[in-house]
Amino acid sequence: MTVPRRLFFALWPDDASRRALAAEAERLAPQCGGYPLPAENMHITLAFLGGVDASRLEALVDLTRAWPALDGEWTLDRLGHFPQPRIVWAGSRTPNAELTTLNAELWQALGRHGFTAPQREFTPHVSLVRQADRAAPESRPPAPLRWRFDHLALVESKLDDGGSRYRTLADNRSQG
C-alpha cells in the first residue's frame, strides 16, 4: 500500500518578488509573534488537493503540462491575518480576475478527475508568517509588490522537523 502524497497547485514568484516577500516576512515576524516563512516556500496555492494516491499522479502531471501558458501580474498591497491557522499573509485589496479565473478553471479541470473544490471563497494570498499570535500592525506593506506569474506548478509538500519542504513535480513551461 502506498502512502498518499500531499499535493497542491501553485504559482511561484520570480526571484526579485521572492526576495521582497522574504524581507517583508522577516520585518513582520517580530511584530506578529511568529516565525517568517523561508523564501523558497513563498507561493500562491491555487488548489490544495491534500493526500492523493500515487495512482492518480500521472493524470495530474499530464493536466499540469498541458495547461495553457500563463502571462499575468498580481499586485500585493494588503496584509491580512488568518487567526486559525495563525498566518499573516500578503494579498490584494481588490480581487485579481486572472487569479480568480485560473482558480475556477483549474478546479473545473480537477473535477473531471474526481477532485472537489472547497466550498469557501478563493482568497489569493502568500503566507509570510506562521504561528502569528496577532495581525500585522498595519494593513498594507510599505510598498506594493508586483508579481508576474508565467507558469503553473504541481507541487508535493512533505512535512519534517524543519517544517514543510516543497518539490515541484511538474509545470506547464515548455518542455523543449
For the chain, the structural domain boundaries read 5-171
99-114 per-residue burial string, b: 16 or more CB within 10 A, e: under 16: beebbeebbebbeeee
Does 125 participate in catalysis according to the annotation? yes
Nearest alpha carbon to residue 110 among 33, 52, 39: 52
Share of residues in the chain with pLDDT > 90 (%): 80
Cα 161 to Cα 5, 41, 129, 147, distances in angstroms: 18, 15, 17, 30
- Over the stretch 66-101, which tens digit does the pLDDT of each residue have? 999 999 999 999 999 999 989 999 999 998 999 999
- Over the stretch 31-60, which tens digit does the pLDDT of each residue have? 999 999 999 999 999 999 999 999 999 999
Mean pLDDT of the 107-129 span: 94
Given this model, what pLDDT does residue 176 score? 47
Domain 5-171: homologous superfamily in CATH: Cyclic phosphodiesterase (3.90.1140.10)
Cell (9 digits) for 145: 509588490
Does 151 participate in catalysis according to the annotation? no
Q: How much is the pTM? A: 0.91
Cell (9 digits) for 151: 507558469
Active-site pick, 81, 113, 125, 151:
125
Nearest alpha carbon to residue 27 among 109, 138, 133: 138
